[in-house]
Amino acid sequence: MPEASSLSARPDPTTAGSATAGSGSATAGSGSATSDGASAEAAAGHAPPARPATHGGGALLVLLGTLTAIGPLSLDMYLPAFPAMTADLHATPAQIQLSLTTCLIGLALGQLVTGPLSDRFGRRLPVLIGVTAYALLALACAAAPSAGVLAATRFVQGFAGGTGVVVARAIVRDLYSGRAAAKYFSRLTLVFGVAPVAAPSLGSLVLGGFGSWRWVFLTLGAIGLLLAAAVAWRLPETLPVQRRTTGGLGATARAMRRLSADRIYLGYALTQGLAFAGLFAYISGSSFVFQDVFGLPSGVFSLIFGANALALVATGQLNARLLDRTGPRPLLVTTLIVGVAAGAGLLAGAAAGAVVPVAVALFVFVGSLGMVMPNSTALALDRHPEAAGTAAALMGAVQSVVGALAAPLVGLGGAGSAVPMALVVVGAAVLSLAAVLTLARSGTRTAAA
């Protein structure tokens, strides 16, 4: 795809509402593209933007989806190697798990720092540096001599990986707005939704094939290098020079203040962050619940986990189709209500000690997130096209922090019950719905886009 600063998004053929990358705002005022959009821009004194090469659409989707999947790959791929790492590094399980926490914190801080940088220096350079550093730091993790060194290196690796996550979201906002952005985020779930399921399986495969946990990080390094090469080759620059921010730290601080003062933006950011907390509670607690509490074999648990991931991907694609008929906000509110109902069913099943209601409720809850995530992301980023990188950074940081708080809560209730996980899931679902109905209650103008 070309890298000219005039690069713009091609509107989705089934919907209106795309934004040009040269202006970052939706055409036709309401966010709906019109057939005479080019003439309208010409009348306003803007030259019609160049259209990207048609062959780049699918490749760009896969590339952005893979960048977004850096998070789950980093967090989930080495989980099967925890016992081997504990023995090899002469560490306790808690010391090895610390590397998971430091990586998650690094992901959050990396997004906070590099998001504003991408608003100033463009999208390509920060993500190319970040993904390359991520790959090299994976190699450093593979050589870690102790659990302490591993935890520190994982923090820096997570920081570098956060660049890809935040820039991928900002690029989508550069290219699309309104319904078109929500549809594109929905399609990203085709890649992102598979990562949490594929990552542990890939880690187990590498561990079984090579016999050492260090090969898991060598594989992450190889993935990172391939991704860096793909970024250098295929990723377009979607933020032209005339739209970049200036002013250094002062401008970043002002942008952060604007975002923090925007109640509607914060409402959608919290909606997504709390929904992610429910997902993280499920990921961190479901293995224990199904295998230890209900006594299911690991193969059955893998099938349940895989089915739930497929539900998330399928509803994401359904969301893209439904956006042809309605806006992202009504879909968001409806699926949040479904999530609350599923959470209530999960709690009832957990209290009764019944595995089937628990499995069904989790299937519905995880599936609902396939609509919650893309719609809440699009609605939040639509508020601030002039600082898409900073807006994506703050949203990603909220998501990481709230998600990090969910995992310890699942373990507070002790062993022998699925109730603690159910309480965290239903609590996150209720708070997520409350955020969109209160803080983001005036967001219907954006939803109409």
Do 57-244 and 255-449 have matching folds? yes
* CATH level 2 (architecture), domain 255-449: Up-down Bundle (1.20)
Highest mean pLDDT among 29-33, 43-47, 149-153, 173-177: 149-153
In this model, does residue 442 exceed pLDDT 80? no
Contacts of 218 (CB under 8 A, 6+ apart): 138, 139, 142
- Judged against a pLDDT cut of 50, whether residue 51 lies above it is answered with no
Residue with tokens 């504003």: 116
For residue 411, the model assigns a pLDDT of 72
Enumerate residues 6+ apart whose C-beta is below 8 A from 75: 100, 103, 104, 199
Q: Is the pLDDT of residue 197 over 60?
A: yes
pLDDT at 151: 94
CB 290 within 8 A of CB 416: no
Residues 6+ apart with CB under 8 A from 161: 70, 71, 74, 106, 107, 110, 130, 131, 134
Number of neighbouring beta carbons within 10 Å of residue 374? 30
**Calpha distance 194→176 (Å, rounded):** 24
Give me the chain's average pLDDT, please: 81
Residues 328-342 have pLDDT tens digits of 999 999 999 999 999
Mean pLDDT of 266-279: 92
pLDDT at 205 exceeding the cut of 90: no
At 38, the pLDDT band (50, 70, 90 cuts) reads very low
Can you give the residue ranges of every domain in the chain?
A: 57-244, 255-449
Q: How far apart are CA 265 and CA 327, in angstroms?
A: 17
pLDDT at 415: 64
pLDDT of 101: 81
7-16, 126-135, 374-383 — which one is most confidently predicted on average? 126-135
Higher-confidence residue of 415 and 141: namely 141
- Long-range pairs for 224-227 at CB < 8 Å and ≥24 separation? 224/131, 224/132, 224/134, 224/135, 224/136, 224/138, 225/132, 225/135, 227/63, 227/66, 227/67, 227/70, 227/131, 227/135, 227/164
Which pLDDT value is given to residue 281? 86
**Where does the pLDDT of residue 400 fall: very low under 50, low under 70, confident under 90, or very high at 90 and above?**
confident
Residue 414, pLDDT score: 62
For residues 191-209, average pLDDT: 80
Looking at the predicted structure, is the pLDDT value of residue 355 above 90?
yes
Pair 390, 259: CB distance under 8 Å:
yes
Query: What is the mean predicted confidence (pLDDT) over 106-114?
Result: 90
Task: Please say whether the structural domain 57-244 has been given the CATH code 3.40.50.720.
Answer: no
Are 327 and 448 in contact, with CB atoms under 8 Å apart?
A: yes
> Is 184 in contact with 65 (CB distance < 8 Å)?
no
Contacts of 446 (CB under 8 A, 6+ apart): 31, 178, 264, 329, 379, 382, 383
The lowest-confidence range among 132-141, 382-391, 412-421 is 412-421
